[in-house]
A and B are shown apart, each in its own frame.
Chain A
Amino acid sequence: MATLTVSRAPLGGFDFGNCKRNAVLERETNTAGCSLPSARKTGTTICGIVFKDGVVLGADTRATEGMVVADKNCSKIHYISPNIYCCGAGTAADTEMTTQIISSNLELHSLSTGRLPRVATANRMLKQMLFRYQGYIGAALVLGGVDCNGPHLYSIYPHGSTDKLPYVTMGSGSLAAMAVFEDRYKPDLEEEEAKRLVRDAIAAGIFNDLGSGSNIDLCVITKGKVDYIRPHDEANKKGIRTGDYKYKAGTTGVLSKVVTRLDLELVNEAVLTMDTS
């Protein structure tokens, strides 16, 4: 059989064709004097803690694009499954998409097994995906939830390493938040104490780190119940203006008034209906 084109078997492995294109684009924009838009990062403070009956996850709500705040109230605690939530630091798009992909796969897995998903499963899926991309997906995550084996908390790094710990912090404000945890963490805290500790840790990040700010979101996960408190604490409320630039009508005197009529002729009137069949 004669064919005009020779079909080639699809090559396996990665296709790096776009790398050259990206390098050319970068060069062109630099010679033109402008720069490519930088990825929006959530320079962040996120943390999690295991308490007596479950886990408490906390996050600030500032998203930065370089030195400008792009979003004053973004949501960094993402849904993975009814009993598992995940805070994300790093590149905002990466954390958003990664958690959505794993949430979707985990729901299919849970339907296949017929059981509530386990936190360790979500951890494995996330770390295997991030390792596959060798750190190019900039997602640093705090994964927490309650399953049949009790409460679990994991921290997951962009290159694919994970740590299972009773308290974790991530993001640019992680050192400030970890200082609070190292001082005041005790095993088997009560729910109110745990919420207060997480709130204080995020507050430390917000007030001592330039990349974190605005409000504090909390997510309390216990067996059978999830409390998504957004916002838990409006740490940075906008102040009330004491002065005003509004002037009363008549402040400016009118010297003269000229009215010109525009005579317009109606040429054509047509009504087009949308085809909704």
Chain B
Amino acid sequence: MLGGAGPELVTEEVKTGTTIIAVEFNGGVVLGSDSRVSAGDAVVNRVMNKLSPLHDRIYCALSGSAADAQTMAEVVNHQLDVHSIEIGEDPLVCSAATLVKNISYKYKEELMAHLIVAGWDRKDGGQVFATLNGLLTRLPFAIGGSGSFYVYGFVDAEYRKGMSRDECQQFVLNTLSLAMTRDGSSGGVAFLVTIDQHSTEEKIILPKHLPKFFNQ
């Protein structure tokens, strides 16, 4: 037995070193994420769905510390349930985003998680909100997580206004595929959620079905 520290427990915080993306199209939104959860160097869950429902037509994408992100999503889910009963109808996407922003801002020193909120409501159709560090901004598309840094160039170059539902889904898959290849903390399968007025559709895309690029 070589000298030095004894058997180490994995007590590093569990992070969802991640790639998440949300894009708005006319009539709805498309959300996408990878599925890798790491604790230090080890992958502790290779099939985690980081697209978490806040309400029937509102989802959020989780990134950062797994515990902080999961807890934020569950708290906002509860608050939205209460809110929607109080107003007697489905909540607005900006209400959900505001609730997330309030938690992010108030506990910005303690929490380390970024949630992208996206969904459809009757008033404004499909919307995507970023809530990084406690700001609240509506965007045509948003990316987040450690893998997003590798694809900022790609999304800036490839995004076009007025894409259709299928084009948006392809755009999301292309982005995820590129990020998952280059970022060590992203990988596994790709989860896709498409929300519009009529339905919320969840899909899993296995690695062999993801679009292939150079060197893959």
Q: List residues of chain A with CB under 8 Å of any chain B CB.
A: 41, 43-44, 64, 66-67, 89-90, 127-128, 130-131, 134-135, 138, 140, 155, 157-163, 165, 171-172, 174-175, 209-212
Bound complex: CA of A216 vs CA of B211, how far in Å?
A: 45
Quick one: given A131-B67, A165-B47, are A159 and B14 in contact (CB under 8 Å)? yes
List chain B residues, Cβ under 8 A from A155. 44-45
The smallest C-beta distance from B104 to any residue of chain A, in angstroms, reads 16
> B133 at the A/B interface (Cβ < 8 Å)?
no
Contact present for B71 and A160 (CB under 8 Å): yes
**A interface SS class:** loop
Q: Which residues of A contact B48 (CB under 8 A)?
A: 163
Complex A-B: 21 CB contacts under 8 Å: A43-B7, A127-B67, A127-B71, A131-B71, A135-B67, A155-B44, A157-B14, A157-B44, A157-B66, A159-B14, A159-B66, A159-B67, A160-B70, A161-B14, A161-B37, A163-B45, A165-B45, A174-B10, A174-B42, A211-B7, A212-B7
A122 to B: closest C-beta gap in Å: 15
Chain A, residue nearest B13 (CB): A159
Contacts of A160 in B (CB 8 A): 67, 70-71
Question: Are B9 and A162 closer than 8 Å at their CB atoms?
Answer: no
The verdict on B89 contacting chain A, using a C-beta distance below 8 Å, is: no
Quote the shortest CB–CB distance from A158 to chain B (angstroms). 6
Q: What CA separation (Å) do A131 and B75 show in the bound complex?
A: 12
Given A131-B67, A155-B44, A157-B14, answer yes or no on A163-B9 (Cβ-Cβ < 8 Å).
no
B14–A90 touching, CB < 8 Å: no
A131-B67, A155-B44 known; A210-B14 Cβ under 8 A: no
If A127-B70, A161-B66 are given as contacts, then 4 extra A-B residue pairs at C-beta distance below 8 Å, sorted by A number, are A67-B6, A138-B9, A159-B14, A165-B45
Pairwise interchain contact B71-A172, C-beta atoms closer than 8 A: no
A212 to B6, CA, bound (A): 12
Please report B residues at the A interface, Cβ cutoff 8 Å.
1, 6-11, 13-14, 37, 39, 42, 44-45, 47-48, 65-71, 110
Instruction: Determine if A90 and B45 form an interchain contact, defined as CB atoms under 8 angstroms apart.
Output: no
Report which of A90, A135, A159, A172 forms a contact with B7, defined as CB distance below 8 A: A172
Q: Which residues of B contact A161 (CB under 8 A)?
A: 14, 37, 65-67, 69-70
Set of chain B residues within 8 Å of A140, measured between Cβ atoms: 9-11
Contact at B10–A172, with CB atoms within 8 Å? yes
Closest to A175 in B: B42
Alpha-carbon gap, A64 to B7, bound state (A): 10
Q: List residues of chain A with CB within 8 A of the CB of B6.
A: 43, 64, 66-67, 210-211
> Which listed residue (B8, B13, B45) contacts A172, Cβ 8 A?
B8
Let me know if B70 and A43 touch, CB within 8 A.
no
B204 to chain A, nearest CB (A): 15
Is the CB–CB distance between B9 and A90 below 8 Å? yes
CB distance from A33 to the nearest CB of B (A): 21
- The CA-CA distance from A41 to B6 in the complex, in Å, is 11
Give CA–CA (A89, B8) in the complex, Å: 12
Residues of B within 8 A of A158 (CB): 11
Kindly state the separation between the CA atoms of A10 and B11 in the bound complex, as whole angstroms.
Answer: 35
Which of A41, A130, A163, A165 has the most CB atoms of chain B within a 10 A radius of its CB? A163
- Nearest A residue to B41 via CB reads A175
Partner of A138, one of B11, B66, B68: B11
Residues of A contacting B47 in the complex (Cβ-Cβ under 8 angstroms)? 165
Contact yes or no, B7 A209, CB < 8 A: yes
CA distance A135 to B42 in the complex (A): 18
